[in-house]
Structure 1
Amino acid sequence: MDNAVRVLSTLALKGAVHNLAGHYEATGGVRIDADFAPTLALLDRLRGGEGADVVILTREGLDDMAREGRVVADSCVDLARSYVGLAVKAGFAHLDIATEPALRAALLAARSVAYSRIGASGILFAQLIERLGIASEINARACIIPSGFTAERLVSGEADLAVQQISELKQVGGIEVIGPIPRELQTPAVFSAGRVAASAKAAQADRLLRFLASREVAPVLRESGLEP
């Protein structure tokens, strides 16, 4: 792994990082050795001593790591903004979710809704259905996964609707993204990157961070469902 930069990244950036890795190496960068998991899981791994050179987390998670001295604060850069959306299995009707009443009706009409227990999107969704007063009805038949891609439960037939960051929904084939949850009902997640303080590859890590934050990367972020 001497010729690679080790990256621990939130799932929301998986598509973008995979699409960028080959181009980065071909244009003179080192190989990107990336592993992906929800931010909360990555925080536990970093606190447990797992090594890495660059981390991509929610801004809140990255700030925590900087305060704890695990990430170099001056290296931190914001990469993208992400909204939580809903998806259905390919070919299924796209329900109206453009307003709060329409979203509420769509969720209640679903046989089962898939969401993640520890992901940023799942936390937001759990709070949202509480605010809408439908948590007990939704959770009684929800497909709540510990981590991973909720849209896989659409393909398997376990759920009618999947909730997750739009960039994560788009990682699964055989599904269609309906659109975002109404923006007035959510606060977008900001995903940011920084160099791990214990990294022995500071120069390579900093070069990768500059690349990820560059205008060159913006179209790839948009294609993956993120806003640069």
Structure 2
Amino acid sequence: MKISVKHLMGAACLLAAGTAQVSAEEIKVMTSGGFTAAYQKLGPAFATAHGDTLTTILGPSMGKAPEAIPNRLDRGEQADVVIMVGYALDELIKQGKIEPGSRVELADSRIGAVVRAGAPRVSVGTPEALRETLLHARSIAYSDSASGVYVQNELFAKLGVADQVKPKSKMIEKTPVASVVAKGDYELGFQQVSELLPVKGATFVGKIPESLQSVTRFAGAVPKGAAHAAEARALLQYLASPAVQPTVRATGLDSVSAQ
């Protein structure tokens, strides 16, 4: 996706700068699924205000897929900003691939469930209800990201249903879980709420109980060798600013400042 907006700064900025024009830059942003909806809503306003172009590269925060952000960086792909799961970003920091001090906390993401639009609503709001829903579901899908790893390796076991649900459960690679539920391939799907809500044809059921949640922190940073480090830092500060938090929360995320 490309957001291409190249304008002069706003009137107030122009008055301050006289007749000088803002130098437009192409800022390359690698972002993983959980924060993408918020970024797509907020990015155009930043681009307009700064006169820059945002070039967006989508990919998971981890995993073996060539599209995964760490694998892209390993291949030498250039980026000015990376937005990803916090602990995956920590690994890049340990590897020396991130500019020191550039990490910015962006949002927390919780796990929710969907069914196909028009299907009977199910309950996942209490441990007992979630357990019964899992046992009665004909098929279950979950993502290949942090939330899906938790569902597969921990959530089922905590509910004591791992053996019963394993034969009818599937980790979905690359594809949004809600989309395979919307097509009718699976009856019940789990993923981070912010990745479920944008998909048409699926009905959001709700978040899993807080006592069983796995909260994923999303953060951004500037990779070593970024061509536009100053602009990248400005974008991250904007995405984390109090003024944009209503938009962040509307996409299904939780503000870091609210925790």
Q: TM-score range by the shorter chain?
A: over 0.9
> What stretches of structure 1 of length at least 5 have no aligned partner?
none
Identity percentage of aligned residues: 34
Where does residue 52 of structure 2 map in the other structure?
Answer: 30
Equivalent residue in structure 2 for 1:169, among 176, 196, 208 = 196
Which residue pairs with 1:195 in the alignment?
222
Indicate whether 1:185 and 2:185 are aligned.
no
Which of the two has higher C-alpha Rg?
2
Does the CA contact (< 8 Å) of 1:37 and 1:148 recur in 2? no
Q: Render the CA deviation track for 1:68-105: whole Å, top value 9, x for unaligned.
A: 11112311110001100001112222212122121011
Say which structure, 1 or 2, has more relative contact order (CA 8 Å, 6+ apart). 1
Match of residue 151 from structure 2: 125
- In structure 2, what is the Cα distance between the partners aligned to 1:188 and 1:144? 19
* Greater mean deviation of Cα atoms: 76-85 or 21-30: 21-30
* Contact kept? 2:116, 2:183, Cα under 8 Å: no
Q: Offset of 1:136 from its aligned partner?
A: 3.1
CA distance in 1, matches of 2:138, 2:129: 16
Q: Deviations over 1:155-203 (max 9, x none)?
A: 1111111100000001211212111111111231010000111102111
TM-score, normalized by length of structure 2?
A: 0.83
| Within-5 A mapping of 1:1-228 | 3-40=25-62, 41-116=68-143, 118-126=144-152, 127-228=154-255
Rounded to whole Å, the distance in 1 between the matches of 2:33 and 2:250 is 15
SS at match of 1:43: helix
How many pairs are equivalent?
A: 227
Cα deviation 1:38-94 (Å, max 9, x = unaligned): 210222222332221100111111111112111123111100011000011122222
For structure 2, the 5+ residue unaligned runs are 3-23, 63-67
Given that residues 43 and 54 in structure 2 are in contact (C-alpha distance below 8 angstroms), is that contact kept between their aligned partners in structure 1? Answer: yes
> 1:21·1:31 contact (CA, 8 Å) conserved in 2?
no
How far does residue 142 in structure 1 lie from its aligned partner after superposition?
2.1
The answer to whether the 8 A contact 1:29-1:208 is kept is: no
**CA distance in structure 1 between the aligned counterparts of 2:236 and 2:85, rounded to whole angstroms:** 15
Q: Structure 1 stretch 24-33 or stretch 122-131: which is displaced more?
A: 24-33
